[in-house]
Amino acid sequence: MKRTLSLLLCVLLTLSLAGCAPKEETLQIFAMDTVMDMLAVGSEAREALSASAQEINRLEALLSRTRESSEVSAINSGKTVTVSDETAELLQRAVQYAALTGGTFDITVEPLVSAWGIHTESPKVLSADEIAALLPLVGSGHLHMDGRTVTLDEGCSIDLGAIAKGYASDRVAQIFRDYGVEGGWVSLGGNVYAHGTKSDGKPWSVAIRDPQNTAGAAALVGLSNQFAVTSGGYQRYFTAEDGTVYQHIIDPSTGAPAISDLLSVTVICGNGTMADAYSTALYVMGLEGAKAFWQQHSADFDMVLITQDNILYYTPGLQGKLTVDEGGAYDAKLLS
């Protein structure tokens, strides 16, 4: 009898523990022209994920340059428009990041993004004359803002493609906090946010994709309540008839796809929007420029740079968090 009772107690205890166990939910959506995956653990995990998906779709409707009804399309129409506080604030931040990065990140690069058409079915190699005709349209000075009233100079246009997913990841992080998500992560097409910890209390292990073998990882980094945003030429590109590969990040100073000695840049910090802007900018800057920029702003972010000659540089803040396969494709080197 005693045995039966204790067995019953055991079963009841297991059942009640299972009942209390926080739920793990996953969701995959396609938005902002990319696949997005999310995972959340918590009693309101499902609600948190559906609110996140709704928020991402709302932001896409607001910020997409290819949706006619978006605020960005209204700005690009050439008329003076009044935008939402949210869009005005994001534009202001974009202008700040352009100034901070010496214009290597610049949302007014849109006329060149469109003309090269690397996102489209019909990309085109521009001639030097075509580039020269469009380059004068690039520069934050063409964007005039007075509170929420925005005007662009004639012929100019903006593209928030290098910052919108990062901003969306910041919003998702807020939603995870609001819903009391215990642990989870989102990957918005190369923009990762790791929330809380795994159920064993350890940080989430975030893979930095191998730019030369995108099915594999070049490194793993343990993160908790942080963003890791990667930009690289390998993500979107086209190969011209002569075999030249043109990738999707434009160097605003030349008007052509950036020719970088970096294969990828991962920026790691507590701000998704900034990480997104910086990862694009550092790719354009190249190895030496990226190192110099980090030296000036080392309090703000950590980074992993993967170079054409197979070196993986990482900053001291990642010591003890980063795992690189010994004898793997890349030689890991600490920056200081």
Q: How close are the terminal C-alpha atoms of the chain, in Å? A: 69
Plot region of 202 (φ>0 → left; ψ -120 to 50 → alpha; else → beta): beta
For tokens 């030689």, name the residue. Answer: 331
The strand pairing partners of 185, in sequence order, are 39, 194
Q: Is 190 in the site for ligand ADP (CB under 6 A)?
A: yes
Out of Mg ion, ligand ADP, none, what residue 262 binds, judged by CB under 5 to 8 A for its kind, is: none
Nearer to Mg ion, 277 or 324 (CB): 277
Report the residue from 150, 276, 321, 324 that binds Mg ion according to the rule CB under 5 A. 276
Residue 287: Cβ within 10 Å count: 18
Q: Which is nearer to ligand ADP, 179 or 283 (CB)?
A: 283
Minimal distance, residue 274 CB to Mg ion, in Å: 10
Residue 331 C-beta: closest distance to Mg ion, Å: 26
Q: How far apart are CA 296 and CA 247, in angstroms?
A: 28
Q: How far is the CB of 250 from Mg ion (least distance, A)?
A: 12
Q: What's the rounded Cα separation, in Å, for the pair 6 and 150? A: 72
Subset of 155-174 contacting Mg ion (CB under 5 A): 162
- Containing 170, the helix (H) or strand (E) segment is helix 164-178
159 binding ligand ADP? (CB under 6 A): yes
> Does the footprint of ligand ADP cover residue 107 (CB under 6 A)?
yes
How many alpha carbons fall within 13 Å on the CB side of residue 211? 26
Chain contacts with Mg ion (rule: CB under 5 A): 162, 276, 279-280
User: Interface with ligand ADP by CB under 6 A: which residues?
Assistant: 105-107, 109, 113, 159, 161-162, 165, 189-190, 231, 235-236, 248-250, 252, 276, 280, 284
